[in-house]
Amino acid sequence: MALADVNLVFAWWWMTCGALSGAAAGLVFHREDACGGYASWRRRLMRLGHVAFFGTGLLNLGFALTARAVPLPLTTITSLASLALLAGAVVMPVTCYLAAWRASWRLLFVVPVVFLVAGLALSAVSAMQSRS
């Protein structure tokens, strides 16, 4: 399986997880007081975790489609970009749910942000290198 194929398959499975997490939350979020009420920290972070599945899934989908369209060469930079986007996608919703559970864990948000920013920057470098 090519590198871009891993990100492509992951993206669709990850967005499926987003739909399932939204369905699970919907089982309790119909109650106004669920998880501390609509504006509570816990409920906002749980919603953010649900949306993070879709957002990070779309980033991986974009990487996979770019890798096919450009095409990106299989270099260390491209491999690191792929891995960083995959790691950021996994760590972001986990961090959201951990921070919903215990507010002090919000300090962990730097981890998925670093992975995702690095993945995006490395993707851009790889795409620029393949064009020259």
* Token digits of residue 57: 């899934």
Q: Give the integer Cα–Cα distance in Å for 129 and 90.
A: 27
Looking at residues 15-20, what average pLDDT do you find? 96
CA distances (Å), origin 50, targets 25, 41, 102 = 8, 14, 17
Rounded percentage of the chain residues whose pLDDT exceeds 70: 92
Give the model's pLDDT for residue 87.
98
12 has a pLDDT exceeding 60: yes
Q: Give the integer Cα–Cα distance in Å for 119 and 44.
A: 26
Give the model's pLDDT for residue 130.
78
109-129, pLDDT tens digit by residue?
999 999 999 999 999 998 888
Give the model's pLDDT for residue 115.
98
53-101, pLDDT tens digit by residue?
999 999 999 999 998 888 777 889 999 999 999 999 999 999 999 999 9
Q: Are the C-beta atoms of residues 82 and 6 closer than 8 Å to each other?
A: yes
pTM: 0.89
